[in-house]
Amino acid sequence: MSSKRAPFIVIEGLDRSGKTTQTSLLQSKLESAGIATKLMKFPDRTTTIGQMIDSYLKSTSELDDHVIHLLFSANRWELASTIESLLNEGTTVLCDRYAFSGIAFSASKIVASSSSSADPVVPKLPFEWCRAPDIGLPAPDVVLFLDIAPEQAKQRGGFGEERYEKEEMQARVRKLFERIGEETSSSSLNPSPSSSSSPTAAERLPQDGRNTLDWVIVDAGKDVESVSAELWDAVYPLARDGTNHPIGKLWA
Ligand code: Z5A
């Protein structure tokens, strides 16, 4: 890879969209192709901060909404320099959830009086406030967003065990992810694909030389192997070739 660095690849998506399944498959495939890869996951429940988050998500502790949001962000900051070192050493970083989940989940919380369909929906935490603590984190080179309808996700194993796994909240989270994806893509210097047909994930990858990340939507409702093949096409050229571009700073 000479003077190039390795790419930072984030997989985002709704609950049960298959992030854990797909990041682990991708890691195996990359390593079989001889590409050093580090798999990371947020929240990282192994750190002291991560243990506080884990206990909150399992509803064994209560925290103010502001506090838990800041803990999720702090959990990323405590690993920010590790991410940068790995990329500079030539290790591809594959990350299961990142700051985008941070905004989508916290900004989807609404005040109790707006939970009935007759009331206007009032967020507890403003979108911009939710984004602020993550400004300046290492920016991924690409975000692969696993998109799935909440009704389909619900049919998959384990849904409903943790605090945020409620269908109404997942629907709001999905809308917020759409907003984040649009804002992220529109801030890209890359021209949008000119073809009117749906481009594959690989066709939508950023060209080297761009100065911001790209947001690629992947249909996660397909079978495991089809999703994995699409992710592989998107990730392999980037991981094989590396990039000359310096590590960006998120939203900075
Ligand atoms: N959160 C937050 O609020 N703020 C933050 O800053 C961050 C996170 C980073 C925990 O996240 C919660 O933290 C989460 C967001 C919030 N809240 N919720 N709810 P987590 O990442 O630790 O959550 P998780 O429980 O480990 O992952 P997940 O999202 O629920 O699942 P997944 O990783 O996307 O899916 P999976 O485990 O790979 O697959 C789920 C099941 O579906 C499993 O039985 C698979 O065998 C099956 N599966 C997978 N793919 C397929 C396909 N293609 N077809 C059929 N079945 C499939």
Ligand 1 contact via 5 beta carbon (within 6 Å): no
Average pLDDT over residues 138-146: 96
Whether the per-residue pLDDT at 126 is higher than 50: the answer is yes
Ligand 1 contact via 105 beta carbon (within 6 Å): yes
Interval between CA 19 and ligand 1 midpoint (Å): 6
Percent of the chain at pLDDT > 90 equals 71
Angle at alpha carbon of residue 102, lines to 99 and 107, rounded to 5°: 135
Atom of ligand 1 nearest to the CA of 97: 9
Long-range Cβ pairs for the range 109-114 (8 Å, 24+): 109/65, 109/169, 110/172
- pLDDT value, residue 184: 79
Ligand 1 contact via 18 beta carbon (within 6 Å): yes
Q: What is the pLDDT of residues 56-114, one digit of tens each?
A: 999 999 999 999 999 999 999 999 999 999 999 999 999 999 999 999 999 999 998 75
Please state, in angstroms and rounded to a whole number, the distance separating the CA atoms of residues 92 and 30.
Answer: 9
Average pLDDT over residues 211-225: 88
- pLDDT value, residue 206: 45
Q: What is the pLDDT of residues 9-18, one digit of tens each?
A: 999 999 999 9
Atom of ligand 1 nearest to the CA of 227: 53
Going by pLDDT thresholds of 50, 70 and 90, the confidence category of residue 202 is: very low
Q: What is the DSSP string of 99-127?
A: HHHHHHHHTT-B-GGG-STTSPP-BSS-H
- pLDDT value, residue 191: 34
Whether the per-residue pLDDT at 175 is higher than 80: the answer is yes
Neighbours of 114 (CB within 10 A): 14
- Per the prediction, the chain carries an average pLDDT of 88
Average pLDDT over residues 48-63: 97
Average pLDDT over residues 149-173: 83
Ligand 1 contact via 181 beta carbon (within 6 Å): no
Ligand 1 contact via 17 beta carbon (within 6 Å): yes
Ligand 1 contact via 21 beta carbon (within 6 Å): yes
Quote ipTM for the complex: 0.97
Whether the per-residue pLDDT at 193 is higher than 70: the answer is no
Q: What is the pLDDT of residues 15-37, one digit of tens each?
A: 999 999 999 999 999 999 999 99
Ligand 1 contact via 24 beta carbon (within 6 Å): no
In this structure, the residue with its CA closest to atom 25 of ligand 1 is 15
- pLDDT value, residue 1: 54
- pLDDT value, residue 115: 56
Q: Which residues pair with 9 in a beta bridge?
A: 94, 142
In this structure, the residue with its CA closest to atom 5 of ligand 1 is 102
- Three-state DSSP class for residue 230: helix
Ligand 1 contact via 157 beta carbon (within 6 Å): yes
Whether the per-residue pLDDT at 200 is higher than 70: the answer is no
Whether the per-residue pLDDT at 201 is higher than 70: the answer is no
Please state, in angstroms and rounded to a whole number, the distance separating the CA atoms of residues 169 and 114.
Answer: 13
Please state, in angstroms and rounded to a whole number, the distance separating the CA atoms of residues 24 and 252.
Answer: 30
Whether the per-residue pLDDT at 210 is higher than 60: the answer is no
Q: Domain 8-188+201-239: give its CATH code.
A: 3.40.50.300
> Do 139 and 248 contact (CB within 8 A), yes or no?
yes
